[in-house]
Amino acid sequence: MKSTLLLSAVVAGSLAFSNLALAGGKTYQGTGPILEVNDSMIAIQKGKERWEIARDANTKVTGDLKVGTKVTVTYTMSATDIEAKPEKAAKEGAKKK
């Protein structure tokens, strides 16, 4: 479940799908029946997990997207924000001894 939420957050927060594909990033695929679809996302059943993948008007669609239809979604992952945390003070104190 956590991996589904993480995947959803990363993909939903990324740039438009077609722009990511053009950026040359590694592509991945997910195959399964459609659980839900709208203009901004598609949800598929991947094993026991629900995968929600962001989409927009630039996403290339071949065929008719209906609940229950088996699809293969090609996507990429891209970081939208990275925050480096400083080391904890306890570790710094131990190094000074």
> Which tens digits make up the pLDDT trace of 18-55?
444 455 689 999 999 999 999 999 999 999 999 999 99
Q: Which residue has the higher pLDDT, 65 or 89?
A: 65
- Predicted TM-score (pTM) of the model is 0.61
What pLDDT band is residue 88 in, cutting at 50, 70 and 90? confident
In whole angstroms, give the CA distance from residue 14 to residue 9.
8
What pLDDT band is residue 6 in, cutting at 50, 70 and 90? very low
Note the residue count of the chain.
97
**43: which residues sit within 8 A by CB, 6+ positions away?**
34, 35, 36, 37, 50, 51, 52, 53
pLDDT at 29: 96
DSSP bridge partners of 34: 44
